């Protein structure tokens, strides 16, 4: 997994509530498109017109926001389906950090498995960031620093954010969670041995159905 | 002073392999369901990294998301889904995972077959790479949806890293009105507390209305927990649960059953258990529900009116309402009843069990689907399909002009190419009315099986309680 330590860049404001993962990666693309190409279709229903041309109104189609590494979003971003393609699609568009008042639980967890940093901040703060990001100025850069757990806005304000320590370490080090857990294989075996005595029905299943 | 523990606390603590600190735990997974989208991806990930599957005997696979529901689906279609199903099949065989294939006993939507085969057990932890995994909470399993990287993690370690959620209890009291079903109850709750209301919580549903509800209705309630923002929904097991589970193919038997039962009976929340949030719902207030917008929280009683953005109290809210109404092609302030429909879909992990098909058939019996409406019945599994055919429900549906189809997720998620056409309006028993969910430009109205059947008959959104002739 790619490490996340610190980034400086512009932030694109997409301040809608309840942006769901079906919008981020529509099912037609989930089924038929390779992971590396998902970015071409991210936000497809909003990003493109029916004839396939770009919708100039959509924020990520505007030149100044097209390569934004930070996305500012509304409440409950990434709600709905568990599809991890939503994170991959954002990643392929160049987004590395999403800042919103709240997130869909599954999307939030999926971010950490892919080097993406989701940051929950109060709605007023995100709205203030969106105002600064939209201001017609030369310098609208944000700095997201995972070492100090702060976001510095264009106006110089530095806002701290909370993150689970283990998730922070995994992002900073680019750790593969499976490797980390496999170091505990003895603990898992010990748990299963004890549990097998306490709840044998979990482990010793009937033959069940005849299958071909 | 010690306080009582919730049902959730008991099951969570029983499954903790390691405390990872700061609220994170390594949790044992008892049952893992795999399907053709995230399951195939997770298995491919394990294979590509040269890892092994730790406990293949605790995993069960079935292709559901992308399989066709057409009666002639066994011929090659050239749809990309064929590769996904083949991958699931091949990788399951490689790792020794039991797979229920199309047309076989046991095949169906993951969240239908888990309970019906006895794979889902009270007090167990069950995960699956699908957000509606919360369904299994209806039988008292602690269950939630995961991403495909987590699927690979569970395959390799039989555990999952999780942050302990907060707890919420939603208590239903009161006397349910005629024509009101579990789907209506949970849609109403989503309308009340919003699609982010349950974010970060494990939600326990409780109260006399839940206690009196059959097991399949409880699964519908828990299924829509994720539409409340909650990954986990659960209902404490009781005699209804035990009666449902007993005798199913993978449920414990004999002495093992007796031991399991003893453990399960100790699981319900203690009387003095404290929840982080409590919500009380008077179920007597609830009417048959139908969504009007593009989020499940945009829901009203069938006798209600579509909101008028002009009445919204702020600009942001007004813009949201306008966007939803524009997508849905609805008139602000107009009654929802009477809006003409093109399609009806009765199926999905929310509402494709035998009780759902019985409810729809009771409405369809002796009536005809309105001209110009295409109405589908997609049973949730081979077992549901077989049971319905034994009861003659397929004949009731066919006689009324419904399409009787093969099991799978079908038009709930439109991953198999079965879509609602752009600007077509569909009353659907599924779980999401998101933009493009049933196909690009599709307009979805979520409702109960009885309400969906009523819409098919009337040719418009109709109040099932008033349906004539």
DSSP string over B155-181: HHHSEEEEEPPEEEEEEEESPPPTT--
Kind and range of the H or E element at A126? Answer: helix A123-134
Q: What is the Cα–Cα distance from A205 to A187, expressed in whole angstroms?
A: 23
Q: What is the Cα–Cα distance from A126 to A142, expressed in whole angstroms?
A: 12
**Residues whose CB is less than 8 angstroms from the CB of residue B102 and which lie 6 or more positions away in sequence, other chains included:** B63, B67, B73, B74, B85, B406
Least CB-CB distance to B249: which of A15, A208, A212?
A208
Residue A169 at interface with chain B, using a CB cutoff of 8 Å: no
Tell me if B184 sits within 8 A of B221, measured CB to CB: no
Q: Which pairs with CB-CB distance under 8 Å and at least 24 residues apart come from B208-211?
A: B208/B172, B208/B173, B209/B172, B209/B173, B209/B174, B209/B176, B209/B185, B209/B283, B210/B172, B210/B235, B211/B238, B211/B240
Q: Which two tokens stand for residue B51?
A: 């890892």
Q: Is A181 close to B159, i.e. CB distance below 8 A?
A: yes
Q: Cα separations (Å) of B97 from A49, B23, B57, B142?
A: 44, 32, 6, 22
**Residues whose CB is less than 8 angstroms from the CB of residue B387 and which lie 6 or more positions away in sequence, other chains included:** B354
Q: Which two tokens stand for residue B318?
A: 């007004």
Q: Is B147 close to A191, i.e. CB distance below 8 A?
A: no
Rg (C-alpha) for chain B, rounded Å, is: 21
- Residue B469 has a pLDDT of 62
- Residue A121 has a pLDDT of 98
Q: How far apart are the first and last CA of chain B?
A: 63
Q: Cα separations (Å) of B220 from B110, B139, B352?
A: 14, 11, 10
How close, in Å, is residue B152 to chain A by CA atoms?
8
- Residue A211 has a pLDDT of 60
Domain A6-173 in CATH 3.40.50.150? The answer is no
- Residue B359 has a pLDDT of 98
Write out residues in chain B with pLDDT < 70, as ranges.
1-2, 469
Taking alpha carbons only, the member of B280, B455, B463, B284 closest to residue B375 is: B455
| DSSP label of B270 | P
Q: Is B414 close to A28, i.e. CB distance below 8 A?
A: yes
Average pLDDT over chain A, rounded to an integer: 95
Question: Domains of chain B, with CATH numbers?
Answer: 7-277 (3.30.499.10), 291-466 (3.30.499.10)
Q: What is the Cα–Cα distance from B199 to A18, expressed in whole angstroms?
A: 12
Q: What is the Cα–Cα distance from B139 to B88, expressed in whole angstroms?
A: 27
Tell me if B66 sits within 8 A of B37, measured CB to CB: yes
Residues paired with residue A9 on neighbouring β-strands, in sequence order: A142
Q: Is B415 close to A27, i.e. CB distance below 8 A?
A: yes
ipTM of the complex: 0.95
Tell me if A86 sits within 8 A of A108, measured CB to CB: no
Q: What is the Cα–Cα distance from B404 to B406, expressed in whole angstroms?
A: 7
| DSSP label of B275 | -
Q: Looking at chain B, how many residues does it have?
A: 469
- Residue B78 has a pLDDT of 78
pLDDT digit string (tens) for B83-118? 899 999 999 999 999 999 999 999 999 999 999 999
Q: Is B60 helix (H, G, I), strand (E, B) or coil?
A: strand
pTM, two decimal places: 0.96
Q: Which two tokens stand for residue B376?
A: 């589908």
- Residue A136 has a pLDDT of 76
- Residue A95 has a pLDDT of 98
Q: Which pairs with CB-CB distance under 8 Å and at least 24 residues apart come from B362-366?
A: B362/B450, B363/B450, B363/B453, B363/B454, B363/B457, B363/B464, B363/B467, B364/B396, B364/B397, B364/B400, B364/B402, B364/B453, B364/B456, B364/B457, B365/B396, B365/B400, B366/B400
Alpha helices in B197-314 (DSSP H): 208-211, 215-223, 239-245, 254-265
The sign of the torsion formed by the CA atoms of B213, B219, B223, B229 equals: positive
Kind and range of the H or E element at B234? Answer: strand B232-234
Least CB-CB distance to B20: which of A166, A199, A209?
A166
pLDDT at A212 over 60: no
- Residue B81 has a pLDDT of 78
Chain centre to alpha carbon of residue A142: 18
How close, in Å, is residue B454 to chain A by CA atoms?
28
pLDDT digit string (tens) for A30-43? 998 999 999 999 99
Q: Is A178 close to B49, i.e. CB distance below 8 A?
A: yes
Q: Is A184 close to B22, i.e. CB distance below 8 A?
A: no
Q: What is the Cα–Cα distance from B232 to B222, expressed in whole angstroms?
A: 8
How close, in Å, is residue B467 to chain A by CA atoms?
33
Judged by CB atoms within 8 Å, which residues 67-126 of A form the interface with B? 75-76, 79-84, 87, 102-106, 109-110, 113-114
Taking alpha carbons only, the member of A106, A88, A28 closest to residue B41 is: A88
Q: What is the Cα–Cα distance from B326 to B375, expressed in whole angstroms?
A: 25
Q: Is A18 close to B196, i.e. CB distance below 8 A?
A: yes
Tell me if A96 sits within 8 A of A70, measured CB to CB: yes
Q: What is the Cα–Cα distance from A201 to A204, expressed in whole angstroms?
A: 5
Least CB-CB distance to B231: which of A106, A199, A209?
A106
| DSSP label of B8 | H
Taking alpha carbons only, the member of B124, B267, B26, B259 closest to residue A190 is: B26
Q: Average pLDDT, stretch A17-37?
A: 93
The residue to which tokens 């003095």 are assigned: B272
Q: Is B426 helix (H, G, I), strand (E, B) or coil?
A: strand
Q: Cα separations (Å) of A152 from A7, A12, A112, A158?
A: 11, 15, 21, 4
Instruction: Spell out where B112-151 has E strands.
Output: 125-128, 142-145
Domain regions of chain A by residue span: 6-173
Least CB-CB distance to B148: which of A84, A165, A202?
A84
- B94: how many CB neighbours lie within 10 A of its CB? 13
Give the pLDDT band (50/70/90) at residue A163: very high
| DSSP label of A48 | B
Q: Which two tokens stand for residue B100?
A: 């229920």
| DSSP label of B465 | G
**Residues whose CB is less than 8 angstroms from the CB of residue B235 and which lie 6 or more positions away in sequence, other chains included:** B137, B138, B139, B140, B204, B205, B206, B210, B218, B221, B222, B241
How close, in Å, is residue A9 to chain B by CA atoms?
27
**Residues whose CB is less than 8 angstroms from the CB of residue B286 and which lie 6 or more positions away in sequence, other chains included:** B176, B177, B180, B184, B185, B188, B301
Give the pLDDT band (50/70/90) at residue A199: very high
- Residue B82 has a pLDDT of 86
């Amino acid at each position: 997994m790619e490490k996340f330590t610190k980034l400086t860049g512009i932030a694109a404001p997409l301040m809608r509530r309840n942006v769901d993962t079906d919008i981020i990666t529509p099912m037609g693309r989930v089924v038929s498109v390779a992971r590396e190409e998902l970015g071409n279709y991210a936000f497809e229903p909003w990003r493109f017109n029916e004839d396939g041309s770009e919708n100039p109104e959509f924020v990520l189609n505007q030149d100044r926001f097209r390569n934004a590494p930070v996305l500012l979003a509304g409440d409950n971003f990434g709600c709905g389906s568990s599809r991890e393609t939503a994170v991959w699609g954002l990643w392929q568009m160049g987004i590395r950090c999403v800042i919103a008042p709240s997130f869909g639980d599954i999307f939030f967890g999926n971010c950490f498995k892919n080097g993406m940093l989701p940051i929950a901040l109060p709605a007023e703060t995100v709205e203030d960031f969106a105002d600064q990001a939209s201001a017609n100025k030369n310098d609208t850069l944000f700095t997201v620093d995972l070492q100090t757990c702060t976001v510095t806005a264009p106006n110089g304000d530095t806002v701290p954010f909370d993150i689970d320590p283990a998730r922070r370490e995994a992002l900073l080090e680019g750790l593969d969670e499976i490797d980390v857990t496999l170091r505990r294989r003895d603990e898992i075996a010990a748990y299963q041995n004890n549990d097998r005595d306490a709840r044998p029905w979990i482990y010793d299943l009937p033959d069940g159905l005849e299958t071909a | 002073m010690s306080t009582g523990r919730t049902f959730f606390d008991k099951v969570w603590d029983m499954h903790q392999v390691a405390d990872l600190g700061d609220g994170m735990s390594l949790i044992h997974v008892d049952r893992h369901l795999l399907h053709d989208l995230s399951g195939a991806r997770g298995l491919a990930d394990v294979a590509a990294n040269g890892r092994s599957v730790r406990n293949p005997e605790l995993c069960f696979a079935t292709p559901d998301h992308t399989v066709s529901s057409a009666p002639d689906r066994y011929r090659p279609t050239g749809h990309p889904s064929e590769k996904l199903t083949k991958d699931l099949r091949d990788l399951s065989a490689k790792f020794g995972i039991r797979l229920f294939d199309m047309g076989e006993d046991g095949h169906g939507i993951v969240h239908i077959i888990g309970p019906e085969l006895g794979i889902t057990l009270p007090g167990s932890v069950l995960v699956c790479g699908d957000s509606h995994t919360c369904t299994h909470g209806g039988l008292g399993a602690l269950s939630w949806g995961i991403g495909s990287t987590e699927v690979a993690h569970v395959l390799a370690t039989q555990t999952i890293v999780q942050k302990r959620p907060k707890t919420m209890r939603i208590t239903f009291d009161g006397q349910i009105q005629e024509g009101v079903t579990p789907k209506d109850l949970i849609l109403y709750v989503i309308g009340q507390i919003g699609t982010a209301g349950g974010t970060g919580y494990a939600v326990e549903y409780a109260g006399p209305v839940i206690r009196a509800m059959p097991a399949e209705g409880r699964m519908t309630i828990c299924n829509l927990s994720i539409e409340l923002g909650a990954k986990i929904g659960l209902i404490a097991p009781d005699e209804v649960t035990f009666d449902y589970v007993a005798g199913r193919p993978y449920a414990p038997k004999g002495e093992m059953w007796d031991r399991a039962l003893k453990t399960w009976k100790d699981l319900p929340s203690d009387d003095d258990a404290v929840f982080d949030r409590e919500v009380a719902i008077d179920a007597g207030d609830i009417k048959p529900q139908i969504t009007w917008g593009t989020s499940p929280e945009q829901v009203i009683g069938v006798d209600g009116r579509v909101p008028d953005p002009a009445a919204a109290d702020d600009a942001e809210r007004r813009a949201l309402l306008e966007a939803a109404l524009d997508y849905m092609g609805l008139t602000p302030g107009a009654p929802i009843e009477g809006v003409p429909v093109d399609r009806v879909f009765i199926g999905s992990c929310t509402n494709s069990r035998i009780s759902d098909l019985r409810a729809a058939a009771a409405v369809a019996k002796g009536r005809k689907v309105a001209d110009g409406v295409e109405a589908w019945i997609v049973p949730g599994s081979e077992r549901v399909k077989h049971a319905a055919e034994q009861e003659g429900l397929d004949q009731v549906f066919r006689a009324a002009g419904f399409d009787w189809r093969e099991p799978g997720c079908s038009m709930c998620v439109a991953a198999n190419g079965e879509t609602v056409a752009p600007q077509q309006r569909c009353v659907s028993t599924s779980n999401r009315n998101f933009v493009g969910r049933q196909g690009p430009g599709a307009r979805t109205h979520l409702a109960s099986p009885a309400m969906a059947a009523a819409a098919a008959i009337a040719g418009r959104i109709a109040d099932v309680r008033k349906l004539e002739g």
